[in-house]
Structure formats: structure tokens, C-alpha cells
Amino acid sequence: MSSTTAQSGLARARRGVAPGGTGTAGGKRKSKLSAQATRTFFWLLLPSVVLLVLIHGYPLIYAAVQATHDGDLLQTGNFVGVQNFSTVLTSPAFWKAAQFTLWFTIVGVFGSWLVGLGLALLLRTKIPAGNTFKVLLLLPWVVPIVVSSTAWNWLVATPDSLIPALFRNLGLGTPLFLADPTLASITVMVFKVWVSFPFMMMMISAALASVDTTVYEAASMDGASPWQQFTQITLPLIARSTYISWILMTIFCVNDFPTIYLLTGGGPVNATTSLVVLAYRTVFQDFATGPGVAIAFLMTMTLVVISVILYRQIRKSSVE
């Protein structure tokens, strides 16, 4: 079989076209709602809109007020314009936290995606006690973060904890996983991956389940190797789910307070202080509401930009 035939088979498979099939048309259908239906639609939607405005709109506006004023949680002070933002943006602590947040997010998103992808693929095969295995794999996601962070603390915190003791017995010294700034950063990121991979695994498993297995048969008949099938069928067909999971995980990572705060409190010496931890400390420990909310605003704006970029990728992946 020529490579051209194989490529053509893979291309058809990527489009979800079964052998001999013609694919789905996806025709566009315009429908006009009647005036009555429009009014009904409006009234049905109204309660949700009101709730959204109350739950999200009011706090956003209130936060915007706090970010542009001095004062504290109880009493909003004078209007200071963008001073809180300039205070934050000229603070080394902000940029250090931004840097850590970036790494935490990159490792959190791609680390959990890779582990989740590997396990989702593994779970497609028949393995002994597969269902039990699936349940066990979901545990890190299911267990409350306060419990898992305590468990991790027991595992690594003191020189006599299980993992440092293991290193010592292997003659590898006694690493202080939470006391050394670099090791603490790595530990927090690994913890995040551990907590998050089940979510990724579920997203990818769901995407894989919707893939018609006949496309693999078609590709196989056209001579595609398992690697070619993985890179040119599996990955493209789960691309939409992948991008959506990346968006969600990016938001989860940037906004993740408990994972970091419970394990290291942002230390040692701010080595694991992320932007959300910094915002929390600024508002609730230093009582500097304006700068703290300004940090939260900057985070939100960044997240929206990242999400838009990834959303464009989703649209691209949907266009055939």
C-alpha cells in the first residue's frame, strides 16, 4: 500500500469518516423564532440572568471599586485611580509570584494532561481489576484537598518522614522537600499534578469513548503504525477536549489557593507564593484591600486572554 493511500485513509479517519462512508453534512439551518417564542425565551432566561448579575456582576463591580480605592474591607477609602495597580506592578513580590504561578500552571496543565492521557489510554485496554483501578485513580481528585495535603505533609515534611528517610536509606542524602525553596516548588507542582490528573484522565477518557473504533480499523487497513494512529488519529480527535481541559486546568492552576497554602503556606521565603496566595495575604494578612484586589483583577485579565487564545485553537480544531 502506498503512503499516499495510508495518508488518505488517516485523513478520512481524522474526519470521522468510516470506510465507505461519506461523512456527515452538517448543513446549516436557519430558524426564525416567532415573537411569542422570543418573549417566552426572554422570560425564561430572565431569572438566570438576574442571578448571574447578582452573583457575579455585583462582586465584580464591588471589586473594581475596591481596586481603585484605598481603605479596607469594611470602609472603602478615597479614589486612587490606578495607583493600586501601579503599586502591585512595581512590586518585586508580584513578579516573583507571577513567575511561580506561570511555572506552576505550565507544569500543572501539561503534567496532569500527560499523566491523564497515559492512564486514559491504558484504561482503554483490558487490564485485570480495571474498574477497581479506575476508582483508585480517581481518589486524588475525590479526596478533600485538606486531607491529601496533610498526607503529603506527613510524607515529606520532616527529615524522618517516609520519603526523606527513603532517600537517606538509599544513600541519597536527606532532602528537605518543603524547606528548600527549589525542592518546595517542585513538590508543590508534583502535588498539583497528582491532584489533577484524574480530572484530565476523565476528560480524555470521555473524548476517547466518542471516537468510532472503525476509524482505527480503517487506518490499520491503510497501513498506519500504532504511533501514526496515536499522533494522527487519537490526538486530533481529542483535540477539542484537550483544549477545553487545558483552559479549565489553566484556570484551576492560576486560581489554586488550597494546594499551595495548605502544603507550604507560600514559603519558604515566598518560594511557592502564587498570585492568588499573594492576593489573599495582601488582603487578609496585610489588610491592603486595594492592592490585593488589583492582583486578582490582573489575574482575571490574564486568564481571559489565555482562554481566548485557547478558544481560538478549539475553533481551529473544529474546522475541517
Partner 1 sequence: MNASSEARRSFSRRGFLGLTAAAASVPLLAACGGGSASQGGGGAGGTVKFWDMPWATPAYNDAAKSIAEGFSGANGSKASYQIIQWNNFYQTFSSAIASKTGPAVSTGGGFQAFQFEQQGQIAYADKVIDKLKANGQFDDFLPGVLDPFKSDKGYVAVPWQLDMRVFWYRKSLFEKANVALPTDWPSLLEAGKALKKVGAFGFTTGAGAGNNYANHSMIMMMVNNGGGVFNKDGELDLMNDRNVEAMEFVLELVSNGIVDPAAVSYTTDNMSAQWKDGKAGYGLFQVNVPQRVGDTSGDLLVADPIKGPHGDKATIVFPNNIMMYTNTPSQDASEEFLVYYLGQLKQLWQKKLMSALPVFKSITEMPEFADDPNNVKIVKDWQPIAKTFASQGSKLNANLAALDGGQALNQFSQTIITGKADAKTALQTFQSGLESVLKK
For residues 148 and 289, which CB has a smaller minimum distance to partner 1 in the complex?
Answer: 289
Quote the cell numbers at residue 42: 426572554
For residues 73 and 122, which CB has a smaller minimum distance to partner 1 in the complex?
Answer: 73
Residues in the chain: 320
Quote the cell numbers at residue 213: 473504533
User: Least CB distance from residue 219 to partner 1, whole Å?
Assistant: 20
176 binding partner 1? (CB under 8 A): yes
Quote the cell numbers at residue 34: 416567532
62 binding partner 1? (CB under 8 A): yes
39 binding partner 1? (CB under 8 A): no
257 binding partner 1? (CB under 8 A): yes
Number of H helices, E strands in the chain: 17, 2
For residues 210 and 225, which CB has a smaller minimum distance to partner 1 in the complex?
Answer: 210
308 binding partner 1? (CB under 8 A): yes
DSSP 219-255: HHHTT--HHHHIIIIIHHHTHHHHHHHHHHHHHHHHT
User: Least CB distance from residue 49 to partner 1, whole Å?
Assistant: 11
φ and ψ of 6, to 5 deg: -60, -45
CA-derived radius of gyration, the chain: 25
52 binding partner 1? (CB under 8 A): yes
276 binding partner 1? (CB under 8 A): yes
Helix (H) or strand (E) holding 272: none
* 3-state secondary structure (DSSP) of residue 33: coil
For residues 174 and 220, which CB has a smaller minimum distance to partner 1 in the complex?
Answer: 174
Which is it for strands 69-71 and 76-79: parallel, antiparallel or unpaired?
antiparallel
**What is the largest distance, in Å, between two alpha-carbon atoms of the chain?**
78
- Cell 488517516 locates to 10
- List residues binding partner 1 (CB under 8 A): 24, 26-27, 29, 52, 56, 59-60, 62-63, 66, 72-75, 93, 153, 157-160, 176, 178-179, 184, 247-248, 251, 255, 257, 261-265, 267-270, 275-276, 279-289, 292-293, 295-297, 299-300, 303-304, 307-308, 311, 315, 318
